[in-house]
A and B are shown apart, each in its own frame.
Chain A
């Protein structure tokens, strides 16, 4: 087991390295002179050359690419993402301010989507090729086809503009959470429903299910206690993989509902040309993806010993 963990961790190093290099290069692609840009924000429209030089040295922009990268990386590893160009505050502080809203939206969506995906997935597996299965299929096809920003706006139109039931945007309280969660869940659960269905159908076609049925067990017992339990491992794995959305959840949903999460921070920062923040968010979302993947892999190896011995 230890060897397996060590091996998997080592495998991620090149990926993490690549992700960091890619996010760092974003800033390097910045056209014109970033020092002048920052100096303009801080000291007015036409900063004197001395001021620009000072800013350049302060931001370390006078060094060559590789040195800047190593310097940046050594800070990033310690959780220091530099100073925001436009806000003048540490990037990490801005991110920590926005993170709770993103996490709240994610966990609510995750919980609701899982509940519905499992429920609808089981139903469509049991009633394969019946009306309910077709309905679920159409439902998930729409889920991946309808743009969430449009769905969000339509829900705002129905529930806020017409019915005056729910707030159209903003953050706070449970009422503000309902529409964004509904919007995001619609697409979030789509493929998951199909996944639960196909896992369960595969399980139901196995011989032990035939035996259980032949024993005279009730359908409910066969499906829930036998087949579904065995189908749980791939299902849990698949669901856990989407945890990386915790950091930057749905950018589109956050923007539509003016949700103060990291997704809208990313979009705002791009418009403000606040590249240290953009860079940090790209890096963090990439690293999060890698870590979630490796955590799920390890979890899988703990649950199912065949994996680690198979290597």
Chain B
């Protein structure tokens, strides 16, 4: 039975255009990142003789103000962005799910406290707080990728916690959970055996859509000069350096931005598609 359901679900996924296109885009971009050493050259190698060259056969995306190959930097930038975004997402997901689950499950004063903290973090616009935090962290710990990761995780866990709390609250009163409780099951057992499987679907949708937001934040911080610092190739920071040459060398801005937009689009398409499929699933169920 489970097998049949899985097959139906898979065929629904395959029939959903949004999912397919989104997945295709992401697969392509991830592949680029994985194959970076093969398909791209050294992103750090400067060559003043070839600086600010427009796109040509040798440099398909042109060269930057230090004569570095923009194509290689963009391709290596896939690694930077995806790895940092994944780290941020996994960290905020773990923190958010944990806090959300205990708030929803135990209720009472635990829920009150965590709920208030969530409210506070929701109130301050994310990017405003991120910028302030990165500013403080840079001064306190010097320039490091972890400044960005930490600052974004501090604001990002909230959405996971909020959704997780809602899921647990709605599950807590369902018969099968009450039944387990009556049979003497422990809290941890119920959370792992019953809450987790039911939370995985919405969490995957949330995480997919959230990856898009995280990539946007990383790129925005990079563009402001507060994100991942040069010479590490990162798209937002490349645009920041390229914007001064917008009149003479627009390719410095165009290509990294295109990659930011396309990868965020990939996550949004996949996320929306997954949501559609799961919503339909739920409608069929009820």
Binding site for B on A (CB under 8 A): 14-15, 18-19, 22-23, 26, 29-32, 141-142, 144-147, 149-150, 153-154, 156-157, 161, 244, 248, 251-252, 255-256, 266-267, 270-271, 273, 275, 278-279, 281-282, 285-287, 289-290
Contact = CB atoms under 8 A, between A and B. Distances in A.
A147 B117 contact: no
A211 B230 CA distance: 64
Instruction: Assign chain B's interface to a size class.
Output: 35 or more
B131 A153 contact: no
Contacts of B219: 147
Given A19-B120, A153-B239, A285-B125, A142 B265 contact: yes
17 contacts: A14-B119, A22-B120, A30-B136, A31-B136, A31-B141, A32-B139, A141-B265, A141-B272, A145-B262, A145-B264, A147-B216, A147-B264, A149-B223, A153-B243, A267-B131, A270-B132, A281-B128
A285 B216 CA distance: 20
Given A141-B268, A147-B257, A150-B253, A29 B140 contact: yes
Contact of A273 (B119, B139, B223): B139
A161 B246 contact: yes
A150 B246 contact: no
B32 interface: no
Contacts of B239: 149-150, 153
A88 B212 CA distance: 40
Nearest to B130: A251
B246 to A, nearest CB: 6
B38 interface: no
A251 B123 CA distance: 17
B168 to A, nearest CB: 22
A15 B250 contact: no
B123 A289 contact: yes
Contacts of B145: none
Contacts of A32: 139
B135 A270 contact: yes
A154 B254 CA distance: 7
Contacts of B116: 14-15, 18
Contacts of B140: 29-31
Given A14-B116, A19-B120, A147-B219, A157 B246 contact: yes
B167 interface: no
Contact of B132 (A19, A146, A256, A278): A278
B226 interface: yes
A43 B135 CA distance: 24
A9 to B, nearest CB: 14
A286 B122 CA distance: 9
Contact of A153 (B136, B246, B265, B268): B246
Contacts of B127: 251-252
Contacts of A146: 261, 264
Contacts of B128: 248, 251, 266, 281-282, 285
A281 B120 CA distance: 15
B163 interface: no
B99 to A, nearest CB: 15
B56 interface: no
B124 A147 contact: no
Contacts of B83: none
A271 B221 CA distance: 13
A23 to B, nearest CB: 8
A248 B122 CA distance: 15
Contact of A286 (B124, B223, B254, B272): B124
B286 interface: no
Nearest to B212: A145
A286 B129 CA distance: 9
Contact of B224 (A29, A255, A282, A287): A255
Given A14-B119, A144-B268, A147-B219, A19 B124 contact: yes
A265 B163 CA distance: 34
A29 to B, nearest CB: 5
